[in-house]
Amino acid sequence: MTAKDQIQETISTNDVVLFMKGTKSMPQCGFSSRVAGVLNFMGVDFADVNVLSDEEIRQGIKDFSDWPTIPQLYVKGEFVGGCDIITEMTLSGELDTLFADKGVSFDKDAADKIREANA
């Protein structure tokens, strides 16, 4: 199976996927840590893919999305963005809307607390 096939299968079989450096319980870069932290705090059930453990996936995800950086968040098979985009979407409430529209469960109160803490 090619890296592209593995990526497609992963994003097709999981509602929310974060391609990241490290794991959701032990991120290995600040940007990955920030996005995983937001998702964990909001109670989102997500699959994590550690790109550091597979060079083909690490390069493959960049080619797949045509996005040069890690982390990368996918929701219901669609590429959403990297750390800056997810941070902006969290603070604006767009991430809440995306999750609600896609039927992904999350803790609205936790999302509100993130915004309050960053107001």
- Give the pLDDT confidence of 37-93 residue by residue, as tens digits: 999 999 999 999 999 999 999 999 999 999 999 999 999 999 999 999 999 999 999
From the candidate CATH numbers 1.10.1740.10, 3.40.50.2000, 3.40.30.10, 3.40.718.10, the one assigned to the domain spanning 3-117: 3.40.30.10
On the question of pLDDT at 8 being above 90, the answer is yes
Predicted local distance difference test score (pLDDT) of residue 1: 86
Q: Is the peptide bond before 68 cis (omega within 30 degrees of 0)?
A: no
**83 among annotated binding-site residues:** no
In Å, what is the CA distance from 22 to each residue of 2, 12, 27, 109?
21, 21, 4, 27
Domain ranges of the chain: 3-117
Q: Which pTM was predicted?
A: 0.96
